[in-house]
């Protein structure tokens, strides 16, 4: 039984590290996309936006708006699942082991929040760029 516990601890630690790497990758992507939006904003301030730029802004605004809506719906489904998993772990395992396993839930929660915040920011920036 103790061997299985060690394997689960290693698995949860590995999953936490993978999710943290995904968070850093998302942050890197966010910075790259933000630079593009800053350049578009600079072009807008100088009244140099081309019709192609305006189409890009319009299409991406629509896409991020839909993505944000899907993220919010997904989060509404996943949060109760996280709470259920945490409750089951707390009910059936000693607190020392629960802390190790809940680490994955906490990191996953943070990851979902970061995705939602990034999509919300992009949607707001694109909406601002779209307005004349």
What pLDDT shows up at residue 5?
Answer: 82
What pLDDT shows up at residue 6?
Answer: 87
Q: Taking the model in full, what pTM does it have?
A: 0.89
Contacts of 86 (CB under 8 A, 6+ apart): 98, 102, 105
Among positive and negative, which fits the CA dihedral 41, 46, 47, 52?
A: negative
% helix, strand, coil for the chain, step of 5:
90, 0, 10
Mean pLDDT over 8-24 rounds to 95
Mean pLDDT over 6-21 rounds to 94
Q: Within the chain, what is the greatest distance between any pair of CA atoms?
A: 68
pLDDT band at 132, cuts 50/70/90? low
Nearest-angstrom CA–CA distance, 118 and 122: 6
Nearest-angstrom CA–CA distance, 54 and 44: 10
What pLDDT shows up at residue 2?
Answer: 74
pLDDT band at 1, cuts 50/70/90? low
- The string of pLDDT tens digits covering residues 67-114 is 999 999 999 999 999 999 999 999 999 998 899 889 999 999 999 999
- The string of pLDDT tens digits covering residues 19-69 is 999 999 999 999 999 999 999 999 999 999 999 999 999 999 999 999 999
Nearest-angstrom CA–CA distance, 106 and 43: 40
CB 109 within 8 A of CB 16: no
């Amino acid at each position: 039984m103790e061997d299985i516990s060690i394997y689960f601890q290693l698995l949860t630690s590995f999953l936490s590290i993978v999710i943290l790497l995904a968070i850093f990758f998302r942050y890197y992507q966010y910075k790259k996309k933000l630079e593009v939006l800053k350049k578009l904003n600079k072009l807008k301030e100088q009244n140099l936006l081309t019709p192609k730029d305006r189409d890009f802004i319009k299409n991406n605004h629509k896409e991020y708006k839909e993505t944000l809506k899907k993220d919010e719906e997904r989060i509404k489904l996943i949060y109760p699942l996280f709470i259920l998993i945490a409750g089951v772990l707390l009910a059936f395992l000693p607190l020392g082991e629960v802390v190790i396993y809940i680490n994955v839930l906490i990191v996953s929660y943070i990851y979902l929040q970061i995705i939602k915040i990034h999509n919300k920011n992009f949607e707001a920036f694109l909406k601002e760029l779209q307005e004349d």
